[in-house]
Amino acid sequence: MKIAVEEGQSKTLLPDGQQNVTITHIEEGKSEYKGIPFFAVRFENDEGYISQRFYQSPAGMPAIVSLFDMADIAVSEGKDLDTKQLIGKNLTINVGERSYTDPETHNERTLKQALNFLVS
């Protein structure tokens, strides 16, 4: 089998700790379990990348608002946010791990994720 490696796919996951990154890609979708809309952000630098999902739910909105605020994109009630505005924005993030129980298998899973978005 031949496997094509596209641009950016040869990078490894970012190590834990503070990282200066650029948002290079946004992917939209719905969660596999409950169908909740999300957008996945690819944070990238020369050392690697990390992807993070942001769920459009009451519990997920504080993280979305924080991300847009730190990307210097105004957030106000009644105004729609456009995820495409995030592409090319530079931020400082903290990379770390979070564990949770998978709702389908009831197994514990650990994800590497971006935390604490800061203006870079």
Structure tokens at 17: 């700790």
pLDDT tier for residue 33 given thresholds of 50, 70 and 90? confident
Q: What is the mean pLDDT of residues 88-97?
A: 91
pLDDT (average), residues 82-92: 95
Does 69 score more than 70 pLDDT?
yes
Can you tell me the mean pLDDT for 100-106?
A: 75
Task: Indicate the pLDDT class of residue 108, thresholds 50, 70 and 90.
Answer: confident
Instruction: Share the mean pLDDT of the chain.
Output: 87
pLDDT of residue 39: 97
Q: What burial class does residue 31 get, using C-beta atoms within 10 Å of its C-beta: 0-12 exposed, 13-18 middle, 19+ buried?
A: middle
Weakest mean pLDDT among 26-35, 48-57, 77-86, 94-103: 94-103
**Closest Cα partner for 117 from 77, 79, 73, 82?**
73
Domains and CATH numbers, the chain: 17-119 (2.40.50)
What would the two tokens of residue 94 be? 């903290």
Q: What is the pLDDT of residue 113?
A: 73
How crowded is the C-beta side of 38, counted as CA atoms within 13 Å?
Answer: 17
Residue 95 has pLDDT above 80, yes or no: yes
Beta strands in 11-106 (DSSP E): 17-30, 37-45, 48-55, 90-101
